[in-house]
Amino acid sequence: MTRVIDVRNLHYRYPDGTVALHGIDFHLDAGECVALLGANGSGKTTLVLHLNGLLQGEGEVAICGLPVNKDTLPQVRAKVGLVFQDSDEQLFMPTVLEDVAFGPSNLGLTPKEAVARAKQCLEQVGMAEAIHKAPYHLSAGEKRRVAIAGALAMQPEILVLDEPTTFLDPPGQRSLTRLLHELPQAKLLVTHDVDFARALATRAVFLEKGRVAGEGTVDEIVTRFDWHPGLL
């Protein structure tokens, strides 16, 4: 199995002196879906921000065999589609189509090619009819789908989704689950939603105080750590 994320002995200390990661080892294989679980402050988001070079600590981080460093950032960021918890942080263009076409345009595609790719990705996530809408007119679930389309338009090998069910009602969560099931990319889900993780992930990794405290199936982790949203 091809390893698309390989993190070894990763340490990170914030500028204020807070130690966020203590020797993290983590991997994700091609086609795999892994849930990253743990309480707030356990290091989940800090780890994720290392995967496309937004943070750089001590240790080794490789994406699709590329070491993450200042020289490889353009290639690395093309391989990792990061979908933030708050979709409004990603949607900033006047229309949905322009938003999704923005990334491909920056990759050097012609305007015609970028628009064609954006339309294809919006079709893929069920948002083809919204191409001329302003993002702020969309529902939370629709914004999440457009944000995912924007990530897919970069043709990444990995999707990293930070708390993807936040702001979604139950039908929106079920719709998102179905969509992610259909996507071929390797996926890392940072989530507190056990049911969502259980529906998608074949493996779960539990972070505690900046360390990997355990891994297994979602149910094994929930049982071992007596962990569920009510314990946050």
The per-residue pLDDT for 200 is: 94
The residue range of the domain holding 27 is 3-87+153-231
**Is 124 contained in some domain?**
no
Please choose, from the candidates 13, 9, 36, 2, the residue with its C-alpha nearest in 3D space to the C-alpha of residue 187: 36
What is the token pair recorded at 143? 């914004």
Helix (H, G, I), strand (E, B) or coil at 36: strand
Please choose, from the candidates 139, 136, 159, the residue with its C-alpha nearest in 3D space to the C-alpha of residue 149: 159
**Is 214 contained in some domain?**
yes
**Is 190 contained in some domain?**
yes
**Is 140 contained in some domain?**
no
Helix (H, G, I), strand (E, B) or coil at 173: helix
**Is 203 contained in some domain?**
yes
Find the radius of gyration of the CA atoms of the chain: 17
Is 188 in contact with 202 (CB distance < 8 Å)? no
The total number of structural domains that make up the chain = 1
Where does residue 182 rank: exposed (0-12), middle (13-18), buried (19+ CB within 10 A)?
exposed
**pTM over the 0.85 mark:** yes
Please choose, from the candidates 171, 40, 149, the residue with its C-alpha nearest in 3D space to the C-alpha of residue 102: 149
**Is 180 contained in some domain?**
yes
Q: How does pLDDT run along the chain (232 residues), one tens digit per residue? A: 789 999 999 999 999 988 999 999 999 999 999 999 998 889 999 999 999 899 999 999 999 999 999 899 988 988 998 888 766 666 778 899 998 998 888 878 898 999 999 999 998 888 888 889 998 888 888 888 888 888 888 889 999 998 888 877 888 888 889 888 988 999 999 998 899 999 999 999 999 999 999 999 999 999 998 876 544 3
**Is 174 contained in some domain?**
yes
CATH code, domain carrying 53? 3.40.50.300
Q: How far apart are CA 114 and CA 198, in angstroms?
A: 35
**Is 159 contained in some domain?**
yes
